């Protein structure tokens, strides 16, 4: 796919929403993506949701520490993948903001 196949989308990481209309919902980041990119980003959001559910249940086990839990590692890795993809597809302002967060380091 080439640059001409890309469309503008607006992404809210917290809710996992990706919209072609910036007025449809609040958004944090603006990206230009192909249909295939949007499908991949949605899969990453789903992966993150599954990991978040696991961490919810882990939180109810008082003796298991955050840094010693596979579920938390999976969640953190999924979030990094999401931000990496948004960074790669993002507008200059989006890339700068994500870089300033230090999440990709």
pLDDT the model gives residue 96: 95
Q: Which residues of the chain have pLDDT under 50?
A: none
Rounded to a whole number, what is the distance in angstroms from the first to the last CA of the chain?
A: 29
Closest by Cα among 74, 75, 76, 94 to 85: 94
Domain chopping of the chain, boundaries: 3-101
pTM, 2 dp: 0.81
The pLDDT score that the predictor gives to residue 56 is: 59
Residue 74's pLDDT is: 83
- Tell me what pLDDT residue 97 has: 94
Residue 54, both tokens: 């696991």
Residue 67's pLDDT is 56
SS (H, E, C) 48-81: HHHHHHHHHHHCCCCCCCHHHCHHHHHHHHHHHH
DSSP per-residue codes, 8-36? EEEEETTTTEEESSTTSS--SEEEEE-HH
Side-chain half-sphere exposure of 53, counting CA atoms within 13 A: 5
């Amino acid at each position: 796919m080439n640059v001409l196949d890309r469309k503008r989308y607006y992404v809210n990481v917290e809710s996992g929403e990706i919209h072609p209309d910036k007025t449809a919902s609040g958004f944090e980041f603006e990206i230009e993506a192909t249909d295939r990119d949007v499908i991949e980003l949605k899969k990453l959001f789903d992966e993150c949701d599954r990991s978040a559910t696991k961490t919810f249940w882990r939180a109810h086990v008082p003796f298991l520490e955050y840094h010693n839990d596979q579920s938390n590692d999976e969640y953190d890795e999924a979030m990094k993948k999401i931000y990496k993809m948004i960074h790669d597809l993002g507008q200059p302002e989006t890339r700068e903001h994500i870089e300033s967060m230090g999440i990709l380091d």
